[in-house]
Amino acid sequence: MQKTFNFHFWPKPFKYFEYAKLFMVTLCAIVAFIVAGIFAVLYTRTSTLMYERVREQAVTYADLIMHTKMWNYDYGGVYVEKRRGVDSNTYLLQLGVNPDVKVEGGRTFTIRNHAIMIEEISQRSEHQDDVSFRIVSLNPIDPHNMPDALEKAAFDRFARGDREWHSMERKGKPSFHYLQPLYVEQSCLECHTNQGYKPGDVIGAISITIPMTTLIKETRANKILIIAAAALTICLLLTLIYLLTWRLVIKLDEVQKRLKKLASTDELTGLRNRRHIMKRLEEEFERAGRTQEPLCLMMLDIDHFKRINDTHGHPFGDLVLKRVARRLQEATRRYDIIGRFGGEEFLVISPGTTTEEASHLGERLRTMVSQEPIGDGEHEVAITLSAGFSLARSGDRNSETLLKRADEALYRAKQGGRNRVEAG
């Protein structure tokens, strides 16, 4: 008989469904934040790329203008035939330079220096591509080359050493303004002798204006696509995470239920195991003490079980334990609690049971188990039970006292010839 009583208690149920929901919400929030951050970078980068693209375009225009200007200057200007709409450069006339040359045949050619050439190329560019450029100066020979307010702001920056200036104008017709300074070279002084310049000074700037309407529309369309892609990606990822995580939660719930069942169930017999049955005994003992209702504890033992194991083997002994457990379950009442205490011993906790009722219950269990032999087709044995029960008393300090009396009653049943029920 068992003489040592250990009490183990099942921990409070782990509310992992609540934790799982919190985990899913947190995970979804983190994923949404990361994906939104990535697309936010792409969204911002789109505007930056648009700005860089138009700036590079402006720089290309400025380089071409400078190459064209230097080509013109290297040849001392380019002569063109005076036709309808081609006028002489009046500002050269003011400097005492005759811009016209007559040739044989009566034709007249007029010189186009770099300044007027750039102006005429700009007119053609503005007409075809809507891109305009001009030479501006704070002290121009031609009044048309006076800078506007934005261009004056650029000259302030050039005076501080900046090598370029650009700005985006969004009011009215969106446009990009780009200015690159022009520095005085020795050759420049031929035309600007009286203006007080010296080599290295900022004599003017190339001012370029590029329309942005089409580019802004394209950029806005790309941003809309980025927002749509971000929303779709986030929705798909969150749906996928939800489905996969929830399936995992369901699986974990099933595993937890199985583990909980295994932790409270005897694997061989399917009855409650020792830890669970002792926990239930403690609970019922405390409840009976509060309500002053009867509480019966019955300990049962299979007679000569060691002989069965030694004679027919442990597999047959396991079969006997399973069959006895099933018969005990069939004989107990709905509110009775039955479990395997250890080895071939079983416990039955019967709340609200009096001494007389406990005696009848013990006899019913003993009779149910012994009414038919147990066999596996090769071996067959008659099984009997010995039982001892006790009822909770007002002087009992704890459930161990109740268990000890039931164990002593079972011992007397064994000593009295077995296959009997004794009260403790």
Give, for all 424 residues of the chain, the pLDDT tens digit: 443 334 333 344 446 667 777 877 888 888 888 988 898 888 888 888 888 988 999 999 889 988 888 888 888 788 888 888 888 877 777 667 788 888 887 888 988 877 788 888 888 888 888 898 888 888 877 777 888 888 899 999 998 889 999 988 877 788 999 999 988 776 665 566 566 667 778 888 999 999 988 888 888 898 899 899 989 988 998 888 888 887 887 887 787 777 777 778 888 999 999 999 999 999 999 999 999 999 999 999 999 999 999 999 999 999 999 999 999 999 998 889 999 999 999 999 999 999 999 999 999 999 999 999 999 888 899 999 999 999 999 888 899 999 999 999 999 999 999 999 999 8
**Other CB atoms within 10 Å distance of the CB of residue 114:** 21
**Gap between the Cα atoms of 95 and 118, Å rounded:** 20
Instruction: Note the helical H segments in 75-182.
Output: 90-94, 114-129, 149-159
DSSP state of 109: E
378 labelled catalytic: no
Other CB atoms within 10 Å distance of the CB of residue 117: 20
Tell me which amino acid residue 125 is.
S
Q: How far apart are CA 346 and CA 387, in angstroms?
A: 9
How far is it, in rounded angstroms, from Cα 255 to Cα 257?
A: 5
**Prediction pTM value:** 0.50
CA torsion 214-218-221-226 (nearest 10°) is: -150
Cβ–Cβ under 8 Å, residues 107 and 81? yes
Q: Which of 104, 151, 293, 344 is catalytic?
A: 344
Instruction: Kindly give, in sequence order, each residue whose CB lies less than 8 Å from that of residue 368, ignoring residues fewer than 6 positions away.
Output: 327, 328, 330, 331
Residue 374: left if φ>0, alpha if ψ -120 to 50, beta else—which one? beta
